[in-house]
């Protein structure tokens, strides 16, 4: 994964790992890390409030892919999509309104379905391994 910035997401005893894309939103989120908050669930979406303020960026979309990580401008929220939401159409995953996608989950996906409303979440940049 050379060149990628990696995320560590911690909830309870779960560790989930993601990568940040090379995009403006990833740079904005990186500048605000670490982030923490209380999880809210909306179908197959985990989200939590942040102190990040950003409008919809070019390329924002309501349709996302499984395990993508995004920022939702109206709620100033960090979002992880692990399944369909109440706004989804069939198996196509939809956010409540357009989001700025900036990364994806690459490990620990199975833990996402175990997370409950109100749990504490902590997101930080993963320290690169030296070897």
Per-residue model confidence (pLDDT) at position 126: 83
Token pair recorded at residue 131: 């070897």
Q: How confident is the prediction along the chain (131 residues), in pLDDT tens digits per residue?
A: 445 789 999 999 999 999 999 999 999 999 999 999 999 999 999 999 999 999 999 999 999 999 999 999 999 999 999 999 999 999 999 999 999 999 999 999 999 999 999 999 999 998 765 54
Name residue 50's beta-bridge partners: none
Per-residue pLDDT at 2: 44
Helix (H, G, I), strand (E, B) or coil at 19: strand
Q: Please give the pLDDT value at position 128.
A: 60
């Amino acid at each position: 994964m050379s060149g990628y910035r990696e995320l560590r997401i911690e909830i309870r005893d779960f560790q989930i790992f993601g990568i940040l894309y090379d995009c403006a939103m990833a740079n904005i989120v990186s500048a605000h890390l670490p982030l923490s908050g209380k999880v809210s669930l909306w179908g197959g979406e985990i989200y939590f409030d942040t102190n990040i303020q950003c409008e919809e960026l070019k390329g924002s979309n309501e349709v996302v892919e499984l395990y993508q990580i995004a920022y939702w401008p109206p709620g100033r929220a960090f979002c992880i999509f692990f399944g369909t939401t109440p706004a989804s159409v069939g198996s196509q995953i939809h956010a409540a309104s357009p989001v700025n996608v900036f990364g994806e989950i690459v490990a620990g996906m199975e833990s996402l379905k175990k997370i409950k409303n109100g749990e504490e979440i902590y997101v930080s940049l993963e320290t690169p391994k030296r070897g």
